[in-house]
Amino acid sequence: MMANALERVKSELLSWPGVETKTHRFGGTEFDLNGREMGHMHGSSWADLPFPMDVRKELVEKGKVSPHHILPESGWVTFYVKSDEDVQELIKLFRMQYERLNSNNKKLQQPQ
């Protein structure tokens, strides 16, 4: 377990435009983009992120994440942080969320 993983992820994510952090309702640190949750971290041990089901299935099949530790049948995934390399992989997962939520916001903002 990387003791500073949370701080490293937090520092990176907060450098992205529009990302904010707050305490998650079930504990941990939540990362939001324009009021929508990108995911949250439980200390430096693991993170939970919500993906559309097709993306979640692909990530699990590739072994990049585990099904969510409490809601395994949902679109949520759990990512365990065990090494420095894992911190970079977790940042990549948050980047996927960032780009997905940003593209959703752009679609919503386009005139009809």
Would you list the DSSP string of the chain? Answer: --TTHHHHHHHHHTTSTTEEEEE-TTSSEEEEETTEEEEEEETTTEEEEE--HHHHHHHHHTTSSEE-SS-TTSSEEEEE--SHHHHHHHHHHHHHHHHHHHHHHHHHHS--
Domain that holds residue 86: 5-109
Number of domains composing the chain: 1
What pTM, to 2 d.p., does this model score? Answer: 0.89
Q: Looking at residue 82, which CATH number applies to its domain?
A: 3.90.1150.30
**Given pLDDT bands bounded at 50, 70 and 90, which one contains residue 55?**
very high
58-83, pLDDT tens digit by residue?
A: 999 999 999 999 999 999 999 999 99
Q: Is the pLDDT of residue 3 over 70?
A: no
13-42, pLDDT tens digit by residue?
A: 999 999 999 999 988 999 999 899 999 999
Q: Which whole number is the average pLDDT over 83-92?
A: 95
Residue 22 pLDDT: 96
Q: Is the pLDDT of residue 112 over 60?
A: no
Q: Is the pLDDT of residue 109 over 60?
A: no
Residue 97 pLDDT: 95
